[in-house]
Structure 1
Amino acid sequence: MPNLLAMSFEGELAPCFDLCCLHPGSKRPPDGWGLGYYPGGEPSASVLKEPAPPHGSIRSELVKAWEHLAASLFVLHIRTATWGAISDANTQPFSRSYAGRDWLFSHCGSLRHRLERSNTKGLFEPTGSTDSELVFCELLAFFAQNGWRSIGDADPSAVRAFFERLGAHGNMSSVLTDGRDLLAYADAHGEGQLHLGTICPPYEKLVLEDADLHLDLGRRGVEAQKGILVASNPLEGSGATWKALSPGHLLVVRQGAIIADMPPGQATAARAAGRDLQRPAPAEARRLSIVHRTSYRYDKPVERSSHLLRLTPIHDRLQTLHASTITLSVDGKQRDYDDVFGNRARKVVIEQSYTELVIEARSEVSLLDTEPFGLRPFHARSTIPLVWMPWQRQVLQPYLLPPELPESQLEVLARYAMTFVERNDYDLVDTLFDLNQTIHRDYLYQKGSTSLSTTPYEVYTRRTGVCQDFANLFICLARLLSVPARYVCGYLYTGPKQPNHSMAEASHAWVQVYLPEVGWKGFDPTSGVVTQTDHVRLAVGRSYVDATPTSGTIYLGGVRETLDVAVHVTPIE
Structure 2
Amino acid sequence: MPNLIIHHVTLYSYSQPVSFGEHRIMVRPREGHDQWLTEARLDIDPAPAAIRQIHDVFGNSVTIARFDRPATQLSIESTIRMEHHPLESHAVQIEDYAKLYPFTYSSEDMPDLLRSIERVNHDPWRMIDDWADGFVRRDGPTDTLAMLTAITAAICRDFTYVPRQEKGTQTPLETLRLGQGTCRDFAVLMIEAVRALGFAARFVSGYVYNPAIGDGNVGGGNTHAWVRIFLPGEGWVEFDPTNGIVGNRGLVRVAIARDPYQAVPISGTYSGLPESFTGMTVSVEVDLEAEPTSARSAPSTTEQSAIPAAHGA
TM-score range relative to shorter protein? 0.7 to 0.9
* Aligned partner (choices 543, 550, 557) of residue 259 of structure 2: 543
* Aligned partner (choices 52, 60, 66) of residue 349 of structure 1: 66
Which range moved further: 431-440 or 301-310? 301-310
2:181 aligns with 465
Pairwise CA RMSD: 2.4
Equivalences for 1:80-159 in 2 at 5 Å? none
1:316 aligns with 32
Residue 376 of structure 1 deviates from its aligned partner by 2.6
- Supply the AA of the counterpart residue of 1:402: R
Which range moved further: 550-559 or 329-338? 550-559
How far apart, in 1, do the equivalents of 2:270 and 2:218 lie? 31
Q: 1:359 to 1:448 in 2, by over 3 A?
A: closer
1:552 aligns with 268
How far apart, in 2, do the equivalents of 1:515 and 1:435 lie? 15
Q: Deviations over 1:496-551 (max 9, x none)?
A: 85474673211111111000111011011111121333111111111221112111
**Aligned: 1:476 with 2:192:** yes
Q: 1:299 to 1:480 in 2, by over 3 A?
A: same
1:415 aligns with 130
Q: For 2:58, what is the secondary structure of its paired residue?
A: coil
1:339 aligns with 56
Equivalences for 1:461-540 in 2 at 5 Å? 461-494=177-210, 498=214, 500=216, 503-540=219-256
Equivalences for 1:27-426 in 2 at 5 Å? 285-332=1-48, 333-372=50-89, 374=91, 376=93, 382-408=99-125, 411-422=126-137, 425-426=141-142
Contact 1:437 1:525 (8 Å CA) reproduced? yes
Unaligned stretches of 5+ residues in structure 2: 291-313
Contact 2:217 2:243 (8 Å CA) reproduced? no
- Supply the AA of the counterpart residue of 1:415: D
How far apart, in 2, do the equivalents of 1:567 and 1:343 lie? 20
* Aligned partner (choices 434, 438, 457) of residue 154 of structure 2: 438
Please, what TM-score do these two structures have when normalized by structure 2?
0.84
Residue 296 of structure 1 deviates from its aligned partner by 0.3
Q: Deviations over 1:121-169 (max 9, x none)?
A: xxxxxxxxxxxxxxxxxxxxxxxxxxxxxxxxxxxxxxxxxxxxxxxxx
How far apart, in 1, do the equivalents of 2:56 and 2:127 lie? 34
Residue 378 of structure 1 deviates from its aligned partner by 9.3
Q: 1:452 to 1:377 in 2, by over 3 A?
A: closer
Residue 374 of structure 1 deviates from its aligned partner by 3.1
Q: For 1:569, what is the secondary structure of its paired residue?
A: strand
Q: 1:452 to 1:319 in 2, by over 3 A?
A: same
How far apart, in 2, do the equivalents of 1:375 and 1:565 lie? 34
Q: 1:522 to 1:453 in 2, by over 3 A?
A: closer
Contact 2:98 2:232 (8 Å CA) reproduced? no
Q: For 2:109, what is the secondary structure of its paired residue?
A: helix
1:84 aligns with none
- Supply the AA of the counterpart residue of 1:341: F
Q: For 2:11, what is the secondary structure of its paired residue?
A: strand
Contact 1:382 1:429 (8 Å CA) reproduced? yes
Unaligned stretches of 5+ residues in structure 1: 1-284
Q: 1:501 to 1:428 in 2, by over 3 A?
A: closer
Please, what TM-score do these two structures have when normalized by structure 1?
0.47
Q: For 1:517, what is the secondary structure of its paired residue?
A: coil
Residue 425 of structure 1 deviates from its aligned partner by 3.3
How far apart, in 1, do the equivalents of 2:152 and 2:265 lie? 24
Residue 305 of structure 1 deviates from its aligned partner by 1.3
Q: For 1:351, what is the secondary structure of its paired residue?
A: coil
How far apart, in 1, do the equivalents of 2:32 and 2:219 lie? 25
How far apart, in 1, do the equivalents of 2:66 and 2:182 lie? 31
Q: For 1:317, what is the secondary structure of its paired residue?
A: coil
Residue 469 of structure 1 deviates from its aligned partner by 0.8
2:305 aligns with none
2:172 aligns with 456
How far apart, in 2, do the equivalents of 1:384 and 1:508 lie? 29
How far apart, in 1, do the equivalents of 2:81 and 2:220 lie? 16
Contact 1:337 1:346 (8 Å CA) reproduced? yes
How far apart, in 1, do the equivalents of 2:215 and 2:91 lie? 29
Residue 386 of structure 1 deviates from its aligned partner by 2.8
Q: 1:355 to 1:297 in 2, by over 3 A?
A: same
How far apart, in 2, do the equivalents of 1:569 and 1:461 lie? 33
